Amino acid sequence: MRKLIHFVHTSLDGKIEGPEGEFDWPAMGPELSAYSFGRFEHADTFLYGRPVWEVMAGYWPNAEAVSDDPHDLKFAPVWRGAPKIVFSRTLTDPGHGARVISGANLAEEVTALKSEPGKDLLLMGGAAIAGELTALGLVDEHQVVVHPVVLGGGKPLFTSSPDRLNLRLIESQTFDSRTVLLRYQRA
């Protein structure tokens, strides 16, 4: 069975975006970038909640035209070529090769997705959908990259979590002398 990996960047104060929705603070140094691409080799499908999808779909299709960052230039064709799934109750045609899971039967649909042949599923960011999938017991691992910035407000890592969730740290790693990866599984 495929694993569902939640891969997310967070500030030191546990925010995934700033008070005005900004996401200009993660720094993709060479070591973190290399780790990310290693992660992409083990996953073949990217999953997004609608808000993160809108940011991704607005940037990655034409990233080469607006960025000269080596990470961006390498990731853009990976993103365009990968199967993508958007969790949304409102979108019907997200474009860019993505399909929508509406959430009407979220547990069934994601369980079926995990049962399909293939590599891991990578849930990129998101707070609401990450919380929902975690509460349903469908997230196999959380990979949280902590960046050395305090945003002082913004969206928390999990916007909803009905119950306490005990996790077990399975790995920690430092990248570029500035970010820390924390890998967790359910305890």
96 Rama sector, left if φ>0, alpha if ψ -120 to 50, beta otherwise = left
The pLDDT value recorded for residue 186 is 87
Taken in order of first residue, the domains within the chain and their CATH numbers are 4-186 (3.40.430.10)
What residue has token string 């945003």?
A: 151
3-state DSSP assignment of residue 66: helix
If 0-12 CB within 10 Å is exposed, 13-18 middle and 19+ buried, where does residue 187 land? exposed
Report the predicted TM-score, pTM, of the whole model to 2 decimal places.
0.93
pLDDT (tens digit, 9 = 90+) per residue, 36-55? 999 988 999 999 999 999 99
Q: Are 11 and 150 in contact (CB under 8 A)?
A: yes
36 Rama sector, left if φ>0, alpha if ψ -120 to 50, beta otherwise = alpha
Report residue 187's pLDDT band, with 50, 70 and 90 as the boundaries. confident
